[in-house]
Structure formats: C-alpha cells, structure tokens
Amino acid sequence: MNNGFNLNKSKFNILFFEYYTTLNTSDASILSEAEAMVNSVLYELNELDDNEYGAYYLSSSKFSTVSNKYDNVNSLVLNKDLHQWINDYLELFDGVFLIAGEENMNLYNLTKLIEKKNIKLFCSKSKGVFISSNKDSTYKTLKNIVKQPKTAKFSFNLLYQQYNKINTDNKDTKFVTEGDKQLNFESFVFSFITEFKKNFSSKLIIKPVNGIDCENITILESKNDLKQFSKDFINININNINSNSNINNSNSSSNSNSNNNFNEEFLIQEFIDGEIVSVSLIAIQNGNKTIIYPLSLNKQYIDLYGYDKYLGGEIPFNHPLKKEAFKTAISAVEAIEGLHGFLGVDLILTENEVFFIEVNSRFTTPYVALQKIAKDFEFNIIKTIIDLSFNPIEGICFKELFESNGTFVKFKKENNKLIIE
C-alpha cells in the first residue's frame, strides 16, 4: 500500500490525533482548547528520545503546520475520512494517543475502531469510555461507591408513556400539539419535576445524559422556572413527535429514532452548592486492576447561567477536603473498568462533603496547565503514561511533585481564546 509516508520500524512509532483538528472546523470556542491540548501533547512527544520513538501528528491540512516547531514530530495530513484512514493505516504504528469529545459517541466510536487493530492504546478503553460518556450509566455504576447528588432520569418519550398509563382514556398514539391534551401533559411534566424538588430546599439542575462538560445545562429554582421548562421541554419536541406515527413503539421501531430529541435522555439532580473542582490523574490498567496516580486538585471556573459555562481554572488548588477529594476520585476511577491514561474527575466540595459529578475518560483542559508546571521539573506526562502502560508500578506519588513545585498556573477562556497565566 502506498501510504505516502515511511516509518522507521526500528523505533516505537506513536500516532497522535485530536478529533477537531482532523476536521476543517472553524468553531473558535472548540479550537481554543483543542489547539492548546494539541500543542501540549506535541511538546511532550517532541521530548521523547528520538532514537527510541517516532512521533506522528495526524491533522487536516488546516492544522498541519502546528507541528512544524517540533523537530521530532512528523506531520501527517488527513486526506480521507478519519475512520477510513484508521482502517487503512493505523496498524503501521505501534501506539496511539487520541483526544476526542464524548458528544455523538465520537470518542467511543474511534476507540472501538482502534481496538480492532494490533496497536497499543495509551488512552481509555471503549468500555470505560462508554460508561463515562453516559452520565446515567456512570451514576448507576458508582451509586454505592461514592457520594453523588440525588438523581433521576427522564426523557420526553418516557414521560409521555407514563402520562398515557395514568390517563387510560387517552388512546392517541400520536402526540397532539394543541388543546387540553398538551396543557394536561405540561402539567404532568411540571408535577414530575415538582415532586422531585420537594425533598430539596434549593435548586435543581438538568443535564443531557450524553452531554459533554457543561453543555446544555439548565438550572431550575423558582416555580416559574419549573413551569417554563415544562412548557419549553414539550414545545421543542413537538415537531419530532408528530413526525412519528407511533410514539409508544419508537424505541423498538426499525427506523432510526434514537437520535430524535424526544428520545434524548436527561438527568435531573439536586443542586449542590459548593466549590467546583476536578482531580487530574493517570490511570493504568494492569490486568483486572486499575492503578491510580493522582496528579493535582484543580479549581474550576464555571458560570452555570452563562452561554460559555466553562471559563477556566487554576492549578494546583488547596482545600480542606483535598485528601477526601483524591480518595473519591480514585474510588470512582477504580470502579469503572477500562479507564486508562490521563483522566479528569469532576467534583463539588461543600464544607464537609465531597460529591462526585462525572469522570472524563480523556485528556481535559487542566492537562495544558499541568504540562506547563511539569516541564519545570522535567516531568513528562506523556512519557510517564507510556512507561507505566508497559511497566505498572504501585506506590508512586506524583501529586507531591506538583504541590511542592511552587508553580501556580491559572487558565481562562476569554473571547474564545484559552489564556494561560
């Protein structure tokens, strides 16, 4: 096969790609973090022993010059569909690092494809990605392991089926968009949310089960908030509902309804008021055991009411519950099979409790800040993941390196740019 590039087979050849930079995307809000993470990975790949490793960065032509400043990193231009490229060329390499988001199951699908090849994957396995990409699966997996906000799952379809069971006189299988029926269903949705809120004195938070980071989060506090959400929730689904002949059979129908909005699942949770943080760590699969190497506790700047909810953070972050935060993150990652490589665990710290929120089975933005700190004491996160993947060693403590270094990094998003201070 004429692949247009030659690999030195005497070296361990590593492929790295980041999903958005393999596309010709122009979304500045996404690219700011994507390019920052790409540059951090490329910097560390460039520092590998060139006699032992070959490093290759795959991207679209738009981003192919990013690696030019790294002498030991070779640029590969994607000239076909990414999945097809992986099928055609991936087995020429020995190992792979990838960065992708969970939306539309991108990370899971790419990981599954890579696992079919005879290649060392230095990131999470598909099983771990699948569980952590679905907030409901994560919640159920960790229900009796870590403390989590009280949670319930719902979708338009499920609520409508419940509504029909209660209202036995309703024989329609097709949702009616006008008249008393819609008003009655709005009241039903409102009652569902209100009943959940009875046990809590504060706010509720609603998020998509398959959402990424803080995307599409809704905060409900007042009675008017609940009423407005109930109305909006129905209205945005009406067109999809009416285009299907039988809502009650939509889950088992042979047509592709799974991507329709009315089948999208959401979590409704009690709102936990506290310090929003994350734990960055390295996880290494060693047989049936996962060895965890915590790196840092990070403060996160989140504006849950704003359009751009994730605003940045600071590393390292000190808190009276830091030790408990690390314990919670470790317990969560150990309980989800298949997590590997660099990970992030989101938590909320109150005065005396640690609440688990979610795990990101991939490189997250704090990696950029950690890489800045790590190079000051010649610690290479990528090289560490490679070494530990081949030779897992228990009892190593890396977080003390970051805590005792004295370097403080703050990163923030402004005007769709990630600024490191």
Domain chopping of the chain, boundaries: 12-121, 135-146+272-420, 151-270
135-146+272-420 CATH, one of 3.40.640.10, 3.30.470.20, 3.40.50.300, 3.20.20.140: 3.30.470.20
346 in helix, strand or coil? strand
Q: Tell me the three state secondary structure of residue 67.
A: helix
pLDDT digits (tens, 9 = 90+) for 34-85: 999 999 999 999 999 999 999 999 999 999 999 999 999 999 999 999 999 9
Q: Is the dihedral of CA 381, 282, 127, 304 positive or negative?
A: negative
pLDDT at 334: 98
For 318-375, the pLDDT digits (tens) are 999 999 999 999 999 999 999 999 999 999 999 999 999 999 999 999 999 999 999 9
Domains 12-121 and 135-146+272-420 share a fold: no
Give start and end residues of each alpha helix (H) in 198-337.
223-235, 238-242, 322-335
d(CA 330, CA 175): 46
Q: Beta partners for 346?
A: 278, 358
DSSP 97-148: EEE--SGGGHHHHHHHHHHTSSSEE-S--HHHHHHHHSHHHHHHHTTTTS--
Q: Can you give the pTM of this predicted structure?
A: 0.88
- pLDDT on residue 259: 39
- At the top level of CATH, which class does the domain 12-121 belong to? alpha beta
CA distances (Å), 401 to each of 224, 315, 316, 330, 379, in order? Answer: 50, 13, 11, 18, 9
Angle at 57 between CA 55 and CA 63, to 5 degrees: 150
Q: Who has greater pLDDT, 236 or 159?
A: 159
State residue 310's pLDDT score. 64
